[in-house]
Amino acid sequence: MDEATGAITTPIYQTTAYHYPEGEKYRYSREANPTVLELTKKIVELENAEMGVAFSSGMGAISTSALALLKPGNSVLVHRDMFGRSYRFFTDYLKNWGVNVDASNPGSDNIIEKAKSKRYDVIFVENITNPLLRVVDITELSKVAKERGSILIVDATFSTPINQKPLELGADIVVHSASKFLAGHNDVIAGLAAGYGKYLNVIDQMRRTLGTSLDAHAAYLTLRGIKTLKIRMDVINRNAEQIAEFLEGHPKVVKVYYPGLKSHVDYEIARKVLKGFGGVLSFEVNGGQESALKVMKSLKLIIPAQTLGGVNSVISHPATMSHRTLSLEERKIVGITDSLLRLSVGIEDVNDLIEDLDRALCTLY
């Protein structure tokens, strides 16, 4: 509820500036905006954090946090099997800026061993990796980070606070592409970070300087989406698990990547650190890129698009879409093949989704 007016939904404060001296708390909407601040309060509640900050995108949250906490000569650890644009930001931009960037091979054990090898100023990981759904043991990694004096940042876009709260497992900062599951309707671009105040205050000052600030209307849409987050994720978790099981038994599917399957390499870690296995899964089809694209184009209900986390189910081809910036060698190391498809499961009737996938897969010889 809005305390100033009694409105039962948060108003959209669509303004650049505020009357002095009454509005001195906000000054200018690039720095602070009442609608946006309401969203930061919400992510603090969801993640049990000390402070939250909102950004113009998920990449805005990642880049601003990294630029606030790192400087030339510092070192950061990432992993190769992460969102392509995030990987490029660390390994291209930050490295050229003078930050020492090390990239671990996929897998929780590899990341933890790398973290033990030397002291990193920052360790940045996705708790569920994109697109092969490796699950990082945040509990064990956070112990190493604390022993080494490293700041642990966890991108929890795939899990949402419904399936995991990284701060409770020992992380220092959690970031989200709020455009995905948090907002949940494929109609807004936003990013969020939450964690300890001593770090988030520094990050917030960098946001004000860089201008990676969230618009009031986008904040309102994100707040609206969060109201149904628990309901949506319950359905999405359930749908994704059933679809993963269906695909694993399909004759046209070579392999399925989903942490809720017993066949997944990180199934035991997933059971330990996740409350639910999430709404994203990937699978390889018989044949190569031509077969994968044929399946994607043959779908009627599931939408081919480069996004995830909405109420609509969407499918993408990582090699030519989300991870197109990776070289062939980099994709090979990660395990992204030309026949790999990534599916973000929505809230549609699961039988309709399975029927759509079966029909598309049966177009393959």
Q: What is the pLDDT of residues 201-218, one digit of tens each?
A: 999 999 999 999 999 999
- Over range 106-122, report the average pLDDT: 97
Q: 34-226, which class in CATH?
A: alpha beta
Q: How confident is the model at residue 125 (pLDDT cuts 50, 70, 90)?
A: very high
Poorest-pLDDT segment among 219-233, 250-264, 316-330: 316-330
Strand partners, 357: none
User: Within the chain, which residue ranges are assigned CATH 3.40.640.10?
Assistant: 34-226
Spatial neighbors of 227 by CB under 8 A, at least 6 apart, are none
Mean pLDDT of the chain: 96
Q: How confident is the model at residue 281 (pLDDT cuts 50, 70, 90)?
A: very high
Q: Yes or no: say if 313 and 344 are a contact pair by the CB < 8 Å rule.
A: yes
- To the nearest whole percent, how much of the chain has pLDDT over 70? 100
pLDDT for position 286: 93
Residue 307 burial (C-beta neighbours within 10 Å; 0-12, 13-18, 19+):
middle
Q: Whole-prediction pTM value?
A: 0.96
- To the nearest whole percent, how much of the chain has pLDDT over 90? 92
- Over range 254-280, report the average pLDDT: 98
Q: How confident is the model at residue 330 (pLDDT cuts 50, 70, 90)?
A: confident
**Rounded Cα gap, residues 181 and 197, in angstroms:** 25
**Rounded Cα gap, residues 351 and 126, in angstroms:** 30
Nearest to 320 by CA among 339, 333, 335, 303: 339
Q: Yes or no: say if 90 and 121 are a contact pair by the CB < 8 Å rule.
A: no
**Position 325 pLDDT exceeds 80:** no
**Position 94 pLDDT exceeds 80:** yes
Sort strands 191-195 and 303-304 into parallel, antiparallel or unpaired: unpaired
Pick the CATH number of 229-361 from 3.30.230.70, 3.90.1150.10, 3.40.50.720, 3.10.100.10: 3.90.1150.10
**Per-residue pLDDT reduced to its tens digit, 16-26:** 999 999 889 99
Nearest to 142 by CA among 168, 175, 163: 168
